[in-house]
Amino acid sequence: MGWLNPLSSGDKEKSRPRLGMEPQARHNALVEVLRGEASGGVVPFVRLVEEALYHPVLGYYRKDKARVGKSAGTDFTTATALGPMFGDLFAAAAETLVGDIKNFDLVEVGAEPGQAHFATVLTKFKGLKTFRLGAEPKFEGPTVLFANELLDAQPFHRFIFQAGSWRELGVRVDGAELSVESLKDFSSRTAEEFAKSLPRSEEGWILDVSLAAEALVDKLLQSPWRGAVVFFDYGKTLAQCLESAPAGTARSYYQHQLSGNILNHLGSQDLTCHVLWDRLEPLLVKHGFKSVRLDRQEAFWVKHASAAMERIAQSGDGEAVGRLRALTHPAHFGAKFQVLHGIR
């Protein structure tokens, strides 16, 4: 069981399917895994997401392949795919947060394979420690903790407001096709407590929430290391989801196609939902972080790396300027992503 994902049944698997399975065969194998643990033919939606993403053999994030970028075989792109320029800006931002960074380890959690965004800034930090999904991070001494789209890569629950109350959704796996239905009981006490804390909504309104992301943040910050934490991701507040996302925020990415068909291509497509920032910010405060802020990515760079941005803008390097524009312009990554950060 990987430390960064809450799998509960992967170690029970007796068979070891081939890593090179075709998408349909991988999907079918995952459905068989879920059928083996279904109660009355139904599993909690969160269990389907857990297995689809993190099953030891079949899971999407267990495949040793490039998922990020624009080359053949990738599924999505993100800010770090812009390469070393991202690292240069981040090093500049880190200095505004903690001061002289040469005494700080840069710890990246949830790193994707094949990324080189910190290649040009290694000598600026005391050291770089990179932990892939499924590895347990170690914190020793002053640290700048960085994670890009780690939180939205965690399993998530689905809830629906039905007949006057919030209920948890599950997936029926014993039929010819997968279908969604309400569970008779909540999958965990945590899920039940969360659902009971929600305000009333409109009939059929769906809410996606990664309780696993909250548990992960709590785990990452509980040891008494000092420094800064910087999470890059996309999300909303709970109120925004309850006001403007009646179908929930869950979606899939498969070969750069965004889709709401989240029950297709299990194990071969990314499944994700918006993180709930107003449930994550208090966790930083709880663990003693100060100056906790949530900024749009554009604003974060302007506030904390403006001098580095100016150097790039005046460099005359058209390619670099184009990447800077992609990173900061509201029409690109600048408004799509947010940055939650704090220091202690």
Question: Does 36 have pLDDT greater than 70?
Answer: yes
Contacts of 226 (CB under 8 A, 6+ apart): 142, 143, 344
Residues 164 and 45 in one domain: yes
Supply the DSSP symbol for 82: G
Residues 33 and 141 in one domain: no
Per the domain annotation, does 3 fall within a domain? no
Residues 229 and 307 in one domain: yes
The pLDDT of residue 74 is: 62
Q: For the chain, how many structural domains are there in total?
A: 2
Per the domain annotation, does 70 fall within a domain? no
Q: What is the mean pLDDT of the segment spanning 232-261?
A: 91
Residues 165 and 309 in one domain: no
H-helix or E-strand spanning residue 282: helix 277-286
Choose between 74 and 207: higher pLDDT.
207
The pLDDT of residue 17 is: 43
Residues 218 and 290 in one domain: yes
Count helices and strands (H / E) in the chain. 11, 16
The pair of structure tokens assigned to 203 is 């009939």
Residues 140 and 59 in one domain: no
CATH number of the CATH domain containing 14: 3.40.50.12710
Residues 99 and 141 in one domain: yes
Residues 135 and 36 in one domain: no
Residues 223 and 296 in one domain: yes
d(C-alpha 168, C-alpha 185), whole Å? 8
Q: Give residue 209's Cα distance to chain centre.
A: 12
Residue where a domain stops, chosen among 272, 296, 322: 272
pLDDT tens, position by position, 137-181:
989 899 999 999 999 999 999 999 999 999 999 999 999 999 999
Residues 146 and 188 in one domain: no
The pair of structure tokens assigned to 129 is 């420690």
Per the domain annotation, does 74 fall within a domain? no
* Residue-range definition of the domain harbouring residue 244: 10-64+157-209+240-272
Residues 170 and 259 in one domain: yes
